[in-house]
């Protein structure tokens, strides 16, 4: 069985799906690897390292035409513009594994399914113990949380730590992290290592102990969250009245913060609006917001002023609002190493005796299988009912109303 590796074509994407260190494990499992020349250059892995580990270097078209199993960071549905050119090479008998943005562009997913290729979406990996080593969302969120703090520290016109100097005592910067998932916890840890005073909030009260174990103060809001967490450990979407009350209660904490790092995202739903324009204007002069809930092609993220992949400057206090959508690519080597380890674990789970074994009974396989035999087969995505489309439209209208207020 031939495993193919191509250079990522998404603009600004520097990661690579498989690193040279992963190849011996795949070879031991009976898999042969062919790679596009320069596939890992942007991540710091030259062709010579792939060749030394047994990979054969060929052209992109040859990788696409010869592979039985294609590994990508972003499949064509997560890269609909540049990824279209690969689709004519996709076919029945080919299995594609990578990030697919399954809740994104429906047309792109349908185009991918129409090729007949079998597609496994890494975003749909179930959060169960057996799949922890395959969880690319968690590994890449770790990188994003770390880089978000460094980005904020570089933009803030003051240093993070408290310092006692001959020129007097410098007070520490105040950082507020919204959302204590993997990215949020890493942001808390990184900000604390830099010496900031850190506060954090999450709709899930159960994470309080994790926040405090990292040296941050957990912000308690008098809100009844109810069942705020799904069975996979992700935060669930709440109604607009809850978010309105949440914004009111968080306003004071935001106003006292030099840096806000927001990570509150709900899989398959629009990111909740948690920081209004008025809240941003109330922050100290030249403060910084890093909105990790921003997504390409969407309207904003957790902050009303967020524009994906842009920097917005607020005229009143010169605060900066950033919505980076691919921070892991900013640490491409480390992010690729983590991604490759996750992907290799997944491949070794799927391959038995040198052959791909797609077992519909296995929860990991069943939950990640997005497309097969020309159809979208995942239960949550098999159809795009008109009701869902109407619900999404309603959410966008409610968000616009909230912003206009």
Residues 39-85 pLDDT 10s: 999 999 999 999 999 999 999 999 999 999 999 999 999 999 999 99
Residue 232 has pLDDT above 90, yes or no: no
Q: Give CA separation, 283 vs 154, 179, 257, 317, 324, in Å.
A: 18, 19, 7, 8, 20
The neighbour count for residue 30, using CB atoms within 10 Å, is 12
- Band the pLDDT of 253: cuts 50, 70, 90: very high
Write down the pLDDT at residue 385.
47
Average pLDDT over residues 148-156: 98
pLDDT at 228: 52
SS3 labels along 162-211? CEEECCEEECCCEEEEECCCHHHHHHHHHHHHCCCEEEEECCCHHHHHHH
User: How many CB atoms within 10 Å of residue 122?
Assistant: 26
Please say whether the dihedral angle defined by the alpha carbons of residues 75, 80, 85 and 90, taken in this order, is positive or negative: positive
Share of the chain above pLDDT 90, in %: 79
Per-residue pLDDT of 2-28, as tens digits, reads 999 999 999 999 999 999 999 999 999
Residue 112 or residue 397, greater confidence: 112
Question: For the segment 324-373, what is each residue's pLDDT rounded down to a tens digit?
Answer: 999 999 999 999 999 999 999 999 999 998 899 999 899 999 999 999 99
The helix (run of H) or strand (run of E) holding residue 401 is helix 386-404
Instruction: Please give the domain boundaries of the chain with CATH numbers for all domains.
Output: 2-124+332-391 (3.40.50.720), 143-325 (3.40.50.720)
Q: How many CB atoms lie within 10 A of CB 220?
A: 10
**Separation between Cα atoms, residue 103 and residue 116, nearest integer Å:** 20
pLDDT computed for residue 81 by the predictor:
94
Examine the pLDDT at 316 and tell me if it is beyond 60.
yes
| pLDDT value for 248 | 83
What is the pLDDT at residue 403? 33
- Show which residues are catalytic: 127, 132, 135, 138, 234
- Is the pLDDT at 117 greater than 50? The verdict is yes
The pLDDT value recorded for residue 283 is 97
- The DSSP code sequence of 347-394 is HHHHEETTEE---TTSHHHHHHEEEETTEE--TTTS---HHHHHHHHH
As given in the structure block, the two tokens for residue 129 are 């113990």
**What is the model's pTM?**
0.89
3-state SS class at 228: coil
Look at residue 271 in the predicted model and tell me its pLDDT: 87
Give me the torsion for CA of 150, 155, 156, 160, rounded to 10°.
Answer: 20
Mean pLDDT of the chain: 90
Is residue 297 very low, low, confident or very high in pLDDT (cuts 50, 70, 90)? Answer: confident
Q: How far apart are CA 267 and CA 31, in angstroms?
A: 33
DSSP label at residue 17: S
The CA distances from residue 10 to 77, 200, 208, 307, in Å, are 11, 33, 37, 19
How many angstroms separate the CA atoms of 321 and 289, rounded? Answer: 5
**Residue 392 CB partners (closer than 8 Å, separation 6+):** 270
pLDDT tens for each residue of 95-116? 999 999 999 999 999 999 999 9
Report the pLDDT value the prediction gives residue 241, as an integer from 0 to 100.
75
Name the band, by pLDDT with cuts 50, 70 and 90, for residue 391: very low
- Which residues make Cβ contacts (< 8 Å) with residue 171, sequence separation at least 6? 162
Average pLDDT over residues 245-249: 82
For residue 319, pLDDT over 50 is answered with: yes
């Amino acid at each position: 069985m031939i495993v193919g590796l191509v250079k990522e074509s998404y603009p600004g994407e520097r990661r690579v799906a498989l690193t040279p260190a992963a190849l011996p494990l795949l070879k031991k499992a009976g898999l042969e690897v062919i790679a596009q020349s320069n596939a890992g250059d942007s991540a710091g892995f030259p062709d010579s390292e792939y060749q030394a580990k047994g990979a054969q270097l060929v052209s992109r078209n040859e990788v696409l035409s010869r592979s039985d199993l294609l590994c990508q960071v972003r499949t064509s549905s997560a890269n609909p513009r540049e990824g279209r050119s690969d689709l004519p090479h996709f076919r029945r008998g080919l299995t594609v594994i990578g990030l697919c943005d399954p809740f994104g562009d429906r047309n792109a997913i349908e185009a991918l399914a129409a090729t007949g290729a079998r597609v496994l979406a890494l975003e749909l990996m179930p959060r169960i113990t057996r799949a922890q080593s395959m969880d690319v969302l968690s590994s890449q969120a770790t990188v994003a949380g770390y880089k978000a703090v460094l980005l904020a520290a570089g933009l803030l016109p003051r240093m993070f730590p408290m310092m006692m100097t001959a020129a007097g005592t410098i007070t520490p910067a105040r950082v507020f992290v919204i959302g204590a998932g993997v990215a949020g916890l890493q942001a808390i840890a990184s900000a604390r290592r830099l010496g900031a005073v850190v506060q954090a909030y999450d709709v899930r009260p159960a994470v309080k102990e994790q926040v405090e174990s990292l040296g941050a103060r957990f912000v308690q809001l008098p809100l009844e969250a109810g069942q705020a967490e799904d069975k996979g450990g992700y935060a669930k979407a709440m109604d607009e009245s809850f978010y309105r009350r949440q914004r009111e209660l968080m306003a004071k904490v935001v106003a006292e913060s030099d840096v806000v790092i927001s990570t509150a995202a709900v899989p398959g739903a629009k990111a909740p609006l948690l920081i209004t324009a008025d809240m941003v204007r109330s922050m100290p002069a030249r403060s910084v917001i890093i909105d990790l809930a921003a997504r390409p092609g969407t309207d904003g993220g957790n902050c009303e002023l967020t524009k994906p992949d842009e920097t917005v400057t607020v005229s009143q206090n010169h605060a900066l609002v950033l919505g980076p959508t691919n921070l892991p690519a900013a640490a491409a080597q480390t992010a690729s190493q983590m991604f490759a380890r996750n992907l290799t674990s997944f491949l070794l789970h799927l391959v038995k005796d040198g052959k791909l074994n797609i077992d519909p009974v296995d929860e990991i396989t069943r939950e990640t299988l997005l497309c097969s035999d020309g159809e979208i087969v995942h239960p949550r995505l098999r159809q795009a009912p008109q009701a869902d489309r109407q619900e999404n439209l309603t959410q966008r209208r409610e968000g616009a109303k909230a912003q206009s207020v």
